[in-house]
Chains A and B, each alone.
Chain A
């Protein structure tokens, strides 16, 4: 028989870590998506003097490894004696990182809307804003959704890096258990399963929406 010294308390400990992973993912994706939509809209429509600096900052966020961003931000927090938790730092850094990628996805989606379709909307008397909200955004959403789902799943895995600034999320809690119980295969399998169970509904939701939309066009 298979024997393990893993107790229910340990499983609870893992699930707590998973809760932290989900919470960070939630805030990072929420904040990152809202910011990403603003930046992406600016990237697709703003004049160059606004577009260029935003593009530059987003380039930096995308090209510096996330781990370095976490550690740097956490050090700045200490240097500046900011009264925020490591958890907040983790969420903010990851949200900005997500925003940088989300902006490009949003920009791509908006630019994928044919100018002739937008012209048709304007020719019916719709204002610039009405065209954006009724035509451009819905079409762009369909184009961007698969990449956005991919981004969200990626961010969930990237949350593991916050263990470097002292946050006990799912990966860190499994490490702690591995060290204590010396059953790496079993414990990491459970952690992997939990990651999968958290990702699966998101991936499914994406596939469902995509299928529904594909039937229409």
Chain B
């Protein structure tokens, strides 16, 4: 049949789609049928108690963890299908973790240059140009030759963001990137995230910073026990939650 819009390779669609995704660690079912669509250009914040499966969902999206049921499509490509080149797919999905995971043996500049050189095959000069641009963008232009151990947590986290951005991803996933930071360092990282959202970056942002989520998100999803309980505009999910679980959670964190 020609022209059917429901083929698995829906050509020009730019988005992340989760369809009834199930994921278990052994006998522990962590994602119990998550469905979600994030359009290009959208900022989605994911909130919810710890252990509800938020990190796991992000890792499934770029194929760091396998899934047991359902389907995840990124720009129409099935992430967990057999033939999918995950290394290629990951080039368009940047991810930044709670722990910044600097490469300790490389300078800040080298940290950011590494993947463009090895994965994208850029020349040293091109990679350096990209890295300097991204590091300047996140406010680390003065720290290029420094080793990560000499940076504060907030600076290391911004370096991790620059490192992901250097691959020119179409999507960015952030997993509680401010949770491990001293309170006075949280602001600088949130500012960086805000800047990215204003530049139109498509982002899924797992966060405990409810006020921030309300501020920058197009939509907010509330995660509870492996399911999305509520999803919608921030004014709705955070401002006027309907489900008792959402209300309880917001009370506990606000």
Instruction: Name B153-204 residues within 8 Å CB distance of A.
Output: 160, 163-164, 167
Bound Cα distance from A116 to B160, whole angstroms: 13
Contacts of A121 in B (CB 8 A): 103
Asked if B88 and A125 make an inter-chain contact with CB atoms under 8 angstroms apart, the answer reads yes
Asked if B115 and A217 make an inter-chain contact with CB atoms under 8 angstroms apart, the answer reads no
Contacts of A217 in B (CB 8 A): 104-105, 147-149
Q: Is B114 part of the contact surface with A, judged by Cβ < 8 Å?
A: yes
Chain A to chain B contacts (Cβ below 8 Å), 21 pairs: A114-B101, A116-B97, A116-B99, A116-B101, A117-B101, A117-B104, A120-B97, A120-B101, A120-B103, A120-B160, A124-B94, A124-B114, A124-B115, A124-B119, A125-B91, A126-B118, A127-B87, A130-B119, A139-B105, A216-B104, A216-B105
Contacts of B115 in A (CB 8 A): 124-126
Q: Is B133 part of the contact surface with A, judged by Cβ < 8 Å?
A: no
Instruction: Name B93-115 residues within 8 Å CB distance of A.
Output: 94-95, 97, 99, 101, 103-105, 114-115
Bound Cα distance from A138 to B107, whole angstroms: 13
Asked if A216 and B147 make an inter-chain contact with CB atoms under 8 angstroms apart, the answer reads yes
Asked if A117 and B167 make an inter-chain contact with CB atoms under 8 angstroms apart, the answer reads no
Q: Given known contacts A126-B115, A130-B119, A134-B114, what 8 new A-B pairs fall within 8 Å (CB)?
A: A114-B101, A116-B97, A122-B90, A123-B62, A123-B90, A124-B91, A124-B115, A124-B119
Bound Cα distance from A74 to B97, whole angstroms: 56
Task: Check A124/B163 contact, CB under 8 A, given A130-B118, A216-B147.
Answer: yes
Asked if A125 and B104 make an inter-chain contact with CB atoms under 8 angstroms apart, the answer reads no
User: What total count of A-B pairs have CB within 8 Å?
Assistant: 64
Q: How far is the CB of B102 from chain A (nearest CB, A)?
A: 8
Asked if A134 and B104 make an inter-chain contact with CB atoms under 8 angstroms apart, the answer reads no
Bound Cα distance from A124 to B89, whole angstroms: 10
Bound Cα distance from A93 to B119, whole angstroms: 42
Bound Cα distance from A139 to B62, whole angstroms: 25
Q: Which of A114, A124, A134, A142 contacts B167 (CB 8 A)?
A: A124
Q: Is B81 part of the contact surface with A, judged by Cβ < 8 Å?
A: no
Chain B, residue nearest A215 (CB): B147
Q: Which of B99, B101, B105 contacts A142 (CB 8 A)?
A: B105
Asked if A119 and B64 make an inter-chain contact with CB atoms under 8 angstroms apart, the answer reads yes
Bound Cα distance from A123 to B95, whole angstroms: 7
Q: Which of B90, B95, B103, B119 contacts A117 (CB 8 A)?
A: B103
Q: Is A6 part of the contact surface with B, judged by Cβ < 8 Å?
A: no
Contacts of B91 in A (CB 8 A): 124-125
Contacts of B163 in A (CB 8 A): 124
Q: Which of B97, B160, B167 contacts A125 (CB 8 A)?
A: B167
Tell which of B94, B115, B148, B164 has the most Cβ of chain A within 10 Å: B115
Contacts of B148 in A (CB 8 A): 217
Contacts of B105 in A (CB 8 A): 138-139, 142, 213, 216-217
Q: Is A135 part of the contact surface with B, judged by Cβ < 8 Å?
A: yes
Bound Cα distance from A114 to B101, whole angstroms: 9
Q: How far is the CB of B188 from chain A (nearest CB, A)?
A: 20
Tell which of B105, B147, B148 has the most Cβ of chain A within 10 Å: B105
Task: Check A123/B149 contact, CB under 8 A, given A117-B101, A130-B119, A217-B104.
Answer: no
Bound Cα distance from A135 to B115, whole angstroms: 11
Bound Cα distance from A116 to B101, whole angstroms: 7
Contacts of A127 in B (CB 8 A): 87
Contacts of A126 in B (CB 8 A): 87, 115, 118-119
